[in-house]
Amino acid sequence: MTPHPAGSAELPQPPWRTPRKKPQSRTPISQDLLVETAIRVLDAEGLDAVSMRRVAQELDTGAASLYAHVANKKELLDLVFDRVVGEIDLPEQGEPGTWREQIRELGIRMHATLSSHADVARVALANIPLGPNALRVSERMLGVMVAGGVPAQAAAWFLDRMSLYIVAEAYEGTLWEMPEGFNPETDRDAFVEPLRQYFRSLPVDQFPALVANVDEMTSGDKDERFLFGLDLLLDGLAARIRN
Amino acid sequence: MTPHPAGSAELPQPPWRTPRKKPQSRTPISQDLLVETAIRVLDAEGLDAVSMRRVAQELDTGAASLYAHVANKKELLDLVFDRVVGEIDLPEQGEPGTWREQIRELGIRMHATLSSHADVARVALANIPLGPNALRVSERMLGVMVAGGVPAQAAAWFLDRMSLYIVAEAYEGTLWEMPEGFNPETDRDAFVEPLRQYFRSLPVDQFPALVANVDEMTSGDKDERFLFGLDLLLDGLAARIRN
DNA sequence: ACCTGAACACCGTTCAAGT
DNA sequence: ACCTGAACACCGTTCAAGT
């Protein structure tokens, strides 16, 4: 139903033409397809599994073929990261709420999106995200703070520090991930208990504070600790402004 | 001058014995030597260069030989990290100062030590440091806070969040490192200027806040930004306690 | 223009064989 | 007990050759 694209492409093939192997099954590689495929591998097997060879294999080709669409692995990972950041949906502009509430909400969404893609966050720790989607999020955060009366210098540095915190937490958080089939609610103790035992077994004379506070040291799940740290930063900024 | 260690080791060799190849030059491998060698490679070439093969080569042997002293690469890196943490010297206990001043000082020392060994900090992001030296630092921090009146739960979580922040900053900070031969004072602009240009070149209608605050976004060096974030965390905790 | 196989210089780890 | 060479199953990247 689409207009004829080019030449006589829509005529049937003469019967003696040998059909291409795997006729339609192999869509031509493009940068988008490459990034999407890499994200599929990332989600299924983690960032370490995202190798040029592994992604190429997923596309039924060799690693060398990828270099037609991407300069090198670093570029592919940068594109992957920015695509993931593109999944963060920003609240409608002009929503109600103080800058503090809005920034907090943005931070939570950012953290949730990064955490939903295995350990992608590691990419942002190793490079410096400047892709269009990363800029979109930065622009919004900076805009909200400045509009809310945060001095520009504090706002700019806060954006930097809060991003570092969120990325670091999203990455480190993947280490505490439970193996498949574990229920985070009921089986949490099975993971924390060995750590508790270890702390308790320490010599009290050398580690009095640690031994006395084993429960406090091992309490709280990933999300509680994330929010605790996020609120420390926000409270710190708020305190700075009031002066 | 030391007492005879074992057997007749101190007698001269009979002349017909074929001397061992490279007589004294090759001290026997031990875990300590392994860790020290790995740190030498780390300092000279960065964490990526610390491979089993590379470290083995430094010891004039093959990678397989290292597995007699270390279970695997992860264990070697954990040992490397803890040895680095061992370089942090803790202030005399009972020094004057509020908990806030003492914790701040500890954070600064921790950051300085990690930053002085290339990107070792990455090890702490990927594992969970529980070596003796890491425990020593944790014990001190927790002790200082609890003694200073910080509620145990807040102190424990603060320790966790502040450690994450310091490690993340120490790692990310190595990305902004200048190539050899650059003077951080005079050549800083050569590094920041391209970034400034990039921000300035963005479409103003889409990125009004970023374009309007290019100078604020690119001001400050690593240390200034590190301290800014550290103080945000400390101020946030202080604010929480006053309530 | 796009894709390919083969090669290069690397990885971590295992294992049978040596001393 | 400690060390070794060779092998296995991987890496990222380049390059000449193919369509």
Q: pLDDT tens, position by position, for chain B (243 residues)?
A: 344 444 334 444 444 344 443 333 467 899 999 999 999 999 999 999 999 999 999 999 999 999 999 999 999 999 999 999 999 999 988 778 999 999 999 999 999 999 999 999 999 999 999 999 999 999 999 999 999 999 999 999 999 999 999 999 999 988 877 556 666 666 677 788 999 999 999 999 999 999 999 999 999 999 999 999 999 999 999 999 976
Model confidence pLDDT, tens digit, residues A86-145: 999 999 887 789 999 999 999 999 999 999 999 999 999 999 999 999 999 999 999 999
Q: Which of A55, A57, A60, A61 is nearest to A38 (CA)?
A: A55
Which positions 71-90 on chain B have a beta carbon less than 7 angstroms from any atom of strand C?
72-74
Distance from CA of B207 to the nearest CA of A (A): 6
Minimum-distance CB partner of B232 among A153, A219, A233: A233
Matching residue, tokens 């991930």: A177
Contact B176, B222 (CB under 8 A): yes
Would you give the DSSP letter of residue A62?
-
Residue in chain B closest to A137 (alpha carbons) equals B207
* One-letter amino acid of B90: L
Buried b (16+ CB within 10 A) or exposed e, B200-235: eebeeeebebbbebbebbbbbebeebbebbbbbbbb
Contact A158, A237 (CB under 8 A): yes
Q: How far is the CA of A67 from the C1' of D11 (A)?
A: 16
Scanning A134-193 for CB atoms below 8 A from B yields 135, 138-139, 142-143, 146, 152-153, 155-161, 164-165, 167-169, 171-172, 175
What's the farthest any 2 CA atoms get from each other in chain A?
Answer: 88
Q: How many CB pairs under 8 A join A and B?
A: 148
A64 touches strand D (CB under 7 A): yes
Which positions 32-51 on chain B have a beta carbon less than 7 angstroms from any atom of strand C?
49, 51
Domain ranges of chain B: 31-84, 89-177+223-242, 188-217
What pLDDT, on a 0 to 100 scale, did the predictor assign at position B181? 61
Buried b (16+ CB within 10 A) or exposed e, A196-218: eeebeebeeeebebbbbbbebbb
| DSSP letters spanning B183-224 | -TTTSHHHHHHHHHHHHHTS-TTT-HHHHHTHHHHH-S-HHH
Name the CATH superfamily housing domain B31-84.
Answer: Homeodomain-like (1.10.10.60)
CA-based radius of gyration for chain B: 24
* One-letter amino acid of A93: Q
CB-contacted nucleotides of strand C (7 Å)? 2-7, 10-16
Q: Which of A88, A74, A173, A166 is nearest to A123 (CA)?
A: A74
Which of A176 and B103 is assigned the larger pLDDT?
B103
Scanning B211-240 for CB atoms below 8 A from A yields 212-213, 216-217, 219-220, 225, 228-229, 231-240
What pLDDT, on a 0 to 100 scale, did the predictor assign at position A149? 96
A199 touches strand D (CB under 7 A): no
Minimum-distance CB partner of B232 among A127, A156, A161: A161
CA B37 to chain centre: 16
Q: How far apart are CA B128 and CA A106, in angstroms?
A: 28
Would you give the DSSP letter of residue B47?
G
Q: How far apart are CA A178 and CA A186, in angstroms?
A: 12
Would you give the DSSP letter of residue A206?
T
- Asked if B139 and A208 come within 8 Å (Cβ–Cβ), the reply is yes
Q: How far apart are CA B14 and CA B93, in angstroms?
A: 57
* Nucleotide closest to residue B65 (CA–C1'): D3
Minimum-distance CB partner of A207 among B139, B146, B175: B139
- Asked if B236 and A240 come within 8 Å (Cβ–Cβ), the reply is no
Contact B111, B169 (CB under 8 A): yes
B54 touches strand C (CB under 7 A): yes
Inform me whether the pLDDT recorded for A2 exceeds 50: no
What pLDDT, on a 0 to 100 scale, did the predictor assign at position A23? 38
Q: How far apart are CA A195 and CA B138, in angstroms?
A: 15
* Number of Cβ atoms within 10 Å of the Cβ of A62: 11
Minimum-distance CB partner of A161 among B127, B164, B228: B228
Residue in chain B closest to A226 (alpha carbons) equals B161
What pLDDT, on a 0 to 100 scale, did the predictor assign at position A19? 42
Contact B168, A164 (CB under 8 A): yes
B70 touches strand D (CB under 7 A): no
Q: What is the CATH number of domain A89-177+223-242?
A: 1.10.357.10
Which positions 23-42 on chain B have a beta carbon less than 7 angstroms from any atom of strand D?
28-29
Q: How far is the CA of A138 from the C1' of C17 (A)?
A: 60
- Mapped onto helix, strand or coil, the DSSP state of residue A226 is helix
B55 touches strand D (CB under 7 A): no
pTM to 2 decimal places: 0.89
What pLDDT, on a 0 to 100 scale, did the predictor assign at position B186? 67
Inform me whether the pLDDT recorded for A190 exceeds 80: no
Contact A118, A42 (CB under 8 A): yes
Q: How far is the CA of B31 from the C1' of C18 (A)?
A: 23
Q: How far is the CA of B68 from the C1' of C15 (A)?
A: 14
Q: How far apart are CA A35 and CA B239, in angstroms?
A: 44
Q: How far apart are CA A99 and CA A145, in angstroms?
A: 6
